[in-house]
Structure 1
Amino acid sequence: MWIIWRTFLCRSVTLASSGQRFQSTTIVHASQQKTVQHKRILHHQSQPMTWMTKTVGFSQAYISPVFGSFCLPSQIFLTLPRTIKLAVHHQLLLVLMRLRLGLMFTDLGKRFGISRTTACEIFAVWRPILARFMKEKIIAWLPKDTLERIRPQSFSVHYPKATFIIDCTEIFVQRPKNLRKRAQTYSNYNHHNTYKALYCIAPNDFVMFVSKLFGGRASDTFITRNSGLISHLIPGDQVLADRGFTITDVLPPGVTLAIPAFTRGCKELPEHEVTRTRRLANVIIHIERTIRRLKGFTILSNIIPGRIQHVDDIVTICAGLCNCNLS
């Protein structure tokens, strides 16, 4: 249960058994913490469950200096339909189980004592809410002073100015019936139809940017040019990437790009290029580990059916949840 409210970065949440309730939410500041009482009326189902009364909390050791202060907007609860007779935190748990475990709506309906249609409606309602919250509050572009403070020791020696690491990840999707979409989503690398997204992390594995989804046919360079990432760059930034990102010509003045050396056209690399490539590979491995954490959500690791829409929101939510579980 604690992971649900940890997603929204609430310091302490008191859940009432039924009827009306008062919710106490702590707004986390970088220098201080203040508790603000919010009077909210939430409608729960008439039959209370045994574990509905509980107080949960978590440590705010990392998020505090990064985000400053914020809390879950009360407007979120006002947008929920009142026809759903399921507690709000149970609805959120259902959504998280759908993402993490990849359970079908029929299975979720039986677990929560509701119909399959209601379970599908709950996911459809919460999906845009969570995606918007993750974009605005969780997946944030960190300022330079914060990057300096959180940069690991492995970067400080050879890449002290590294701002972020980028790479593309592919999500398998069912082969579309439309021939044009089938051609646009076919990946020559994976020999399968896929969606492709640009993933950008800070040196400490914090997700800073997630692009919209492109077809698997799109190249890494094309996605980087059209994802909106370039607008975040400022002079003095250093981008770390794999050798497929030949984007030097589109980078703003003063921004440098570090990619492994190319072996095409030469029998062997000079000694200094081999050393530089090895050092770069030792830090680029961070983004591979972060993408592996993203694929830990079963809904993204399995083949996504063609009937599922708004996969961009699902990727954004999963990326934001990865930020809430940094270790």
Structure 2
Amino acid sequence: MMLEIPAEEGSTTPKVTFNVSASTEAENYFLRKELLEATEKLKKLSVSFSFEHIKNSDSRINAYTGLPSCEIFMCLYGLMEDISLKYYHGWTVTVISKIDQLLLTLMKLKLNLLNEDLAVRFNICSKTVANIFFTWLYALHEVLFKKFMDKIPSRNKNKLCMPTCFNNFTNCRIILDCTEIYCIQPKNMEKQRATYSSYKHRNTLKVLVGVAPNGVITYASELYPGSVSDKKIVRHCGILDQLEADDLIIADKGFLIKDMLPQGVHLNIPPFLSTPQFTPEQVIQTRTIARARIHIERAIRRIKHYRILSLIPASLISHSTEIFQTCVALTNLHCPLIREVEDLYKEKDL
């Protein structure tokens, strides 16, 4: 095969003719094909993970963000979209869209992915991941927790949606319990001692959680070192300041806080076994309280579905209160907990 290269217009250089063999032509064909395939692969590699990849699947939305559906995700984004963000590290992120910044933050909370992992997925650097995460964490905390969970609902509000298992506790204002979150052992010896939990035999952070009778999480304190007693947390966190006369608190028998309650506020905890066995009345009381307390147990279990709470690293301990409280607020975006609890008792009754 003859390959002819014409001379440029106006040039005195004669045209050049090459004799191209069939084998060379075939080789060029396969090289062009390989180049095209490599280019396509490069394009695919350069496409970063985004909301577009999961928006048509509620199950994927739930798996990556912890939110129940795309509709809820978009409602949350609509709430945050027009907020003026103050970026944590002082420089604005424009390399990915706001909706993908929200997605990245929720993925960090739900899946506890490393910043390096998120950097690869979103085709950005690790510093940008950190800037996005802390910026959106504090924005979500401000809007979802501080704005909507600043005060616990009144007793009258609770009565509007009181489940049947609270028929004996119609004046219940809140159900309280403490839970612990594992944290990395601090290097400082004093902090090691402060965070060491004699109950868990590990270093932990402790938090007081409150749930309304309808299963909605209505209170979460700041996080305290794991060695702090439940009683000290109740005294310090400010929950007692929100209670009024005739309010009832339901709690575990370890909450020996009766002596510090405001005047007229009542405490209902399971009875202590002071005889070889409970009386029939005590058995009924214990079962009734246990049925009411299952709401707080289920709520805490839901909160801990956010894997970032599985172990708080040293780099996040100073942000742990905002992380936990934001996970609490996000948990409230799920279907009502009361439905889950009622279904549980229906199964037991079968």
TM-score range, shorter chain: 0.7 to 0.9
1:163 deviation in Å?
1.3
Match among 154, 161, 168 for residue 165 of structure 2: 154
Work out which of the residue numbers 277, 281, 295 in structure 2 matches 1:286: 295
Secondary structure of the corresponding residue to residue 51 of structure 1: helix
Residue 194 of structure 1 corresponds to: 204
Q: CA deviation at 1:172?
A: 0.2
Q: Which runs of 5+ in 2 are unaligned?
A: 1-47, 57-69, 337-350
**Is 1:317 matched with 2:326?**
yes
- The equivalences for 1:264-275 within 5 A come to 265-275=274-284
1:129 and 2:130 are equivalent in the alignment: no
**Residues 1-327 of structure 1: pairs in structure 2 closer than 5 A:** 51=52, 57=71, 72=79, 76-80=83-87, 81-139=91-149, 140-156=151-167, 158-263=168-273, 265-301=274-310, 303-308=311-316, 309-327=318-336
Structure 1: how far apart are the matches of 2:189 and 2:84? 42
The answer to whether the 8 A contact 1:138-1:323 is kept is no
Change (3 A) 1:307 1:50: closer
Secondary structure (helix, strand or coil) at the match of 1:196 reads: strand
1:33 is matched with none
Q: Is the 8 A contact 2:207 2:222 kept in 1?
A: yes
Between the aligned residues of both structures, percent identity stands at: 36
Distance change >3 Å, CA 170–CA 326, structure 1 → 2: same
- CA distance, structure 2, for counterparts of residue 136 and residue 295 of structure 1: 20
Q: Which amino acid aligns with 1:225?
A: R
**1:142 CA drift (Å):** 1.3
Hey, what's the Cα distance between the residues in 2 that align with 1:323 and 1:85? 31
How high is the TM-score relative to the length of structure 1?
Answer: 0.76
Corresponding residue of 2:34: none
CA RMSD of aligned residues (A): 2.4
C-alpha contact 2:211 2:296 (8 A) present in aligned 1: yes
Q: Alpha-carbon deviation of 1:73?
A: 6.7
> What is the number of residues matched between the two proteins?
266
- The one-letter code sitting in structure 2 at the alignment partner of 1:273 is Q
User: Which of structures 1 and 2 has the bigger CA Rg?
Assistant: 2
Residue type matched to 1:142 in 2?
P
Q: Is the 8 A contact 1:211 1:227 kept in 2?
A: yes
Q: CA, structure 1 residues 186+208, in 2 after alignment: closer, same or farther (shift >3 Å)?
A: same
Report the Cα offset of residue 184 of structure 1.
Answer: 0.6
Question: Is contact 2:251-2:293 (8 Å) kept?
Answer: yes
Deviation, structure 1 residue 255: 0.9
- Report the Cα offset of residue 266 of structure 1: 3.0
Deviations 1:32-59 (A, max 9, x none): xxxxxxxxxxxxxxx9x8939x896459
Query: 1: CA distance between counterparts of 2:84 and 2:101?
Result: 11
